[in-house]
């Protein structure tokens, strides 16, 4: 009796040696995958597992190549650890009708204990099947088939590391959690990517322990919120996760790390930094807790004092000069700088002299000398300005008591006024009261400086280097005349730079 396709008979002297080295001899019944990593022989459904043994292809473009069996699945599908190739080194599909044998390197098909199952690594390279339908949630990777069902669930993640038909385009570089795994076909179900994963895309599958220093916990939110999401299944004590980052891995705010400023054990409530909440409500989604790595920018004028950043402050904080217990250092610093920038300087300037100002009983408007302001530094801001009226002597010409007749009527009478020579309208500067300057019969007395109380700074008055006009509007004495001798008018200015 001959062994099909071998040229050997079972009664041949070589047959015992053949038995020692070959566990199975046959031909493929269907095409394997286009990756060159599987061969299909329906008859293998009737044989014990050949995991760990060598598969040798006997004809076709890959004839003579040997690969190790990684899986032996239902339907007689054997997945090997590396792709078969042709003479040019390109991946070679093992088509139907190709002869192969299983070499008894580890002791033979059913003899002795089964070889060890494939090993799950913390990081594994995946290739999407050429026939895989495009999907955001389902990835078929035959080179990662053969592991026990569900072994990757929830603890492993998958990242698309190469988008085969559009390099650099989503979902390339995106990471999603694996929620289900079917070992027979190498089918992974994951949280949704933002775009389809497609045939021939390359991935990596990795265990969460690779990021163990950073990922401190994981779970599913059962209370949705942008500011206080919660997972009531957690059992840690109050404040356990304070200072860590909460990051959802799916939903509207996936991969937005947000600082946990307070954790409440009862109810598993995560209070997020109020200056940096999620951009939308979280949804009832999976999440991870990450060890704190960075400070977030606090809100302007935040007074919560939850984080060091709150205490230091935001560059948009307004200046604050009055001390409180809750405001940021940035506000105090700005207040100090603003106070220093508002340090006031004074400047006096005077007009030329005027020999006499005379008031009669009818009321008279007297022009006073102009004042030229020329010494304000560039960039100065006039904060306050007052007018001064100086005279060497005052005399009463009337034979009897004399004094001012009537108090100031604003903008109307008995007032010294000033204006810019633009000219703008006059503004009141020195106000008088009735019976001011009371003098006896034909009296003559030493003079004084009368200082105005009205602030004449600003756009309507004194605000820059300029020439300013002054007058005494409808000054009136009880009797003719009251004379002011050797007069000057002046400006006293307070300004900041």
**Digit-coded pLDDT (tens) for 445-495:** 999 999 999 999 987 889 999 999 999 999 999 999 999 999 999 999 999
Confidence grade of residue 116 (pLDDT, cut at 50, 70, 90): very low
Query: What pLDDT score does 114 carry?
Result: 42
By the 10 Å C-beta count (0-12 exposed, 13-18 middle, 19+ buried), 273 is classed as buried
3 pLDDT above the threshold of 90: no
Q: Which residues pair with 272 in a beta bridge?
A: 260
Query: What pLDDT score does 8 carry?
Result: 52
Phi, psi of 473 (to 5 degrees): -85, 120
Query: What pLDDT score does 131 carry?
Result: 85
Query: What pLDDT score does 128 carry?
Result: 93
Instruction: Report which of residues 376 and 338 the model is more confident about.
Output: 376
Instruction: Report which of residues 252 and 330 the model is more confident about.
Output: 252
167 pLDDT above the threshold of 80: yes
pLDDT in tens, 390-436: 999 999 999 999 999 999 999 999 999 999 987 889 999 999 999 99
Q: Which residue has the tokens 């991946």?
A: 91
Q: Are the C-beta atoms of 172 and 195 separated by less than 8 Å?
A: no
Alpha helices in 161-288 (DSSP H): none
Rounded Cα distance, 222 and 211, in Å: 25
CA 50 remoteness from chain centre:
54
E strand or H helix that includes residue 341? helix 329-341
62 pLDDT above the threshold of 50: yes
Which tokens belong to 349? 């300037």
pLDDT in tens, 251-266: 999 889 999 989 999 9
Query: What pLDDT score does 194 carry?
Result: 87
Helix, strand, or coil here: 312? helix
Contacts of 73 by beta carbon, 8 Å cutoff, 6+ apart: 79, 145, 146, 183, 184
pLDDT in tens, 201-216: 999 999 887 765 577 7
Share of the chain above pLDDT 90, in %: 57
Query: What pLDDT score does 373 carry?
Result: 95
Cis? peptide before 76, omega within 30° of 0: no
Query: What pLDDT score does 121 carry?
Result: 83
Which tokens belong to 312? 């230091």
Helix, strand, or coil here: 373? strand
324 pLDDT above the threshold of 90: no
Q: Are the C-beta atoms of 291 and 214 separated by less than 8 Å?
A: yes
Rounded Cα distance, 418 and 415, in Å: 10
Q: Which residues pair with 176 in a beta bridge?
A: 158
Rounded Cα distance, 489 and 422, in Å: 19
Contacts of 12 by beta carbon, 8 Å cutoff, 6+ apart: none
Is the backbone of residue 401 left (phi > 0), alpha (psi -120 to 50) or beta?
Answer: beta
Instruction: Report which of residues 437 and 330 the model is more confident about.
Output: 437
Closest CA to 122 of 245, 206, 15: 206
All structural domains of the chain, each given as residue ranges with its CATH number in brackets, are: 15-103 (2.40.30), 123-211 (2.40.10), 308-341 (no CATH), 346-496 (2.60.120)
Rounded Cα distance, 247 and 177, in Å: 13
Contacts of 402 by beta carbon, 8 Å cutoff, 6+ apart: 396, 438, 439, 477, 478, 479, 482
Helix, strand, or coil here: 330? helix
Confidence grade of residue 69 (pLDDT, cut at 50, 70, 90): confident
Query: What pLDDT score does 344 carry?
Result: 82
Rounded Cα distance, 308 and 286, in Å: 29
Instruction: Report which of residues 326 and 363 the model is more confident about.
Output: 363
Instruction: Report which of residues 424 and 27 the model is more confident about.
Output: 27
Confidence grade of residue 7 (pLDDT, cut at 50, 70, 90): low
22 pLDDT above the threshold of 60: yes
β-pair type (156-162, 175-182): antiparallel
The DSSP annotation for 33-98 comes to -TTS-EEE-GGGGGS---TTSEEEE-SSTTTT-EEEEEEEETTTEEEESS--B-TTS-B----TT-
Query: What pLDDT score does 23 carry?
Result: 85
Rounded Cα distance, 268 and 50, in Å: 49
pTM: 0.41
Contacts of 204 by beta carbon, 8 Å cutoff, 6+ apart: 123, 124, 125, 126, 158, 159, 161
298 pLDDT above the threshold of 80: no
Q: Where are the beta strands (DSSP E) in 293-377?
A: 345-350, 354-359, 364-373
Confidence grade of residue 1 (pLDDT, cut at 50, 70, 90): very low
By the 10 Å C-beta count (0-12 exposed, 13-18 middle, 19+ buried), 87 is classed as exposed
Q: What is the mean pLDDT of the chain?
A: 87
Contacts of 421 by beta carbon, 8 Å cutoff, 6+ apart: 370, 466, 467, 468, 469
E strand or H helix that includes residue 393? strand 381-396
Share of the chain above pLDDT 70, in %: 90
Query: What pLDDT score does 229 carry?
Result: 97
């Amino acid at each position: 009796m001959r062994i099909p396709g071998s040229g050997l008979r079972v009664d041949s002297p070589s047959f015992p040696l053949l038995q020692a080295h070959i566990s199975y001899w046959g031909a493929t019944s269907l095409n394997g995958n286009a990756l060159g990593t599987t061969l299909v022989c329906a008859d293998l459904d009737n044989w014990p597992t050949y995991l760990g043994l060598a598969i040798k292809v006997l004809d076709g473009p890959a004839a003579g190549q040997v690969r190790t069996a990684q899986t032996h699945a239902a339907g007689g599908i054997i997945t090997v650890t590396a792709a078969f190739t042709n003479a040019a080194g390109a991946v070679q599909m093992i088509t139907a009708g190709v002869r192969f044998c299983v070499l008894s390197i580890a002791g033979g098909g059913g003899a002795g204990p089964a070889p060890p199952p494939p090993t799950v690594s913390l990081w594994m390279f995946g290739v999407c099947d050429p026939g895989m339908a495009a999907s955001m949630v389902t990835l078929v990777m035959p080179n990662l088939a053969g592991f026990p069902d569900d072994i990757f669930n929830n603890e492993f993640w998958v990242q698309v590391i190469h988008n085969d038909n559009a390099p650099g385009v989503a979902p390339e570089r995106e990471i999603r959690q694996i929620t289900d795994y079917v070992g027979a076909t190498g089918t992974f179900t994951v949280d949704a990517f933002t775009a389809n994963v497609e045939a021939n895309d390359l991935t990596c599958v990795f265990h969460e322990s690779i990021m163990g220093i950073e990922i401190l916990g994981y779970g599913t939110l059962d209370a949705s919120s942008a500011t206080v999401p919660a997972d009531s299944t957690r059992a840690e004590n109050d404040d356990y996760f304070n200072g860590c980052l909460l990051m959802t891995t799916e939903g509207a705010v996936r991969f937005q790390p947000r600082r946990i400023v307070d954790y409440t054990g009862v109810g598993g409530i995560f209070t997020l930094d109020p200056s940096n909440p999620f951009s939308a409500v979280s949804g009832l989604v999976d999440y991870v807790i990450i060890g704190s790595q960075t400070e977030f920018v606090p809100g302007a004028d935040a007074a919560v004092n939850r984080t060091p950043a709150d205490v230091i402050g935001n560059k948009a904080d307004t200046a604050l000069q009055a001390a409180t217990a809750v405001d940021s250092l940035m506000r105090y610093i700005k207040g100090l700088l603003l106070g220093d920038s508002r340090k006031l300087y004074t400047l006096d300037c005077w007009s030329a002299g005027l020999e006499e100002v005379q008031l009669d009983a009818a009321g008279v408007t007297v022009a006073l000398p102009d004042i030229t302001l020329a010494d304000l530094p560039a960039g100065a801001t006039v904060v306050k300005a007052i007018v001064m009226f100086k005279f060497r002597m005052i005399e009463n010409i009337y034979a009897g008591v004399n004094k001012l007749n009537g108090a100031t009527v604003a903008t109307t009478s008995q007032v010294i006024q000033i204006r810019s020579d633009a000219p703008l309208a006059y503004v009141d500067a020195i106000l008088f009261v009735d019976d001011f300057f009371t003098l006896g019969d034909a009296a003559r007395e030493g003079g004084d400086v009368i200082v105005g109380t009205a602030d004449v700074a600003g756009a309507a008055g004194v605000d820059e280097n300029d020439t300013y006009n002054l007058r005494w509007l409808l000054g009136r004495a009880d009797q003719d005349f009251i004379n002011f001798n050797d007069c000057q008018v002046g400006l006293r200015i307070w300004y900041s730079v």
